Amino acid sequence: MSEKTDVYWFVYIVECSDGTYYTGISNDVKNRIEKHNTGKGAAYTRGRGPVKLIYSEKLSTRSEASIRESIIKKLSKLQKVKLIRTQ
């Protein structure tokens, strides 16, 4: 029997200091942002810090978050800006 937990996953977008966006997933966004800002996050954000959280979306499972991340990563920057503004 599967046990329900209260762990949610998030897809998030951060803005890097060079104005670019990075999209990722995490079940602890605050900790993940700290990792990005200390150079221990994604390779893309290293050297582009500090990053700031500009969007997050709560999902029920890691799988849902990964699928949503993939969709968002395929958007143009303009489409991402529109998404961010709708939040």
- Interval 7-51: pLDDT, tens: 899 999 999 999 999 999 999 999 999 999 999 989 999 999 999
Q: Give how far Cα 47 sits from Cα of 4, 34, 73, 74, Å.
A: 39, 14, 20, 23
Walk across the sheet containing 21-26 and list its strands.
21-26, 9-15, 52-59
Global pTM value: 0.90
**Confidence class of residue 1 from pLDDT cuts 50, 70 and 90?**
very low
Which CATH code of 1.10.1240.10, 3.30.70.100, 3.40.1440.10, 3.40.50.1370 fits the domain covering 9-78?
A: 3.40.1440.10
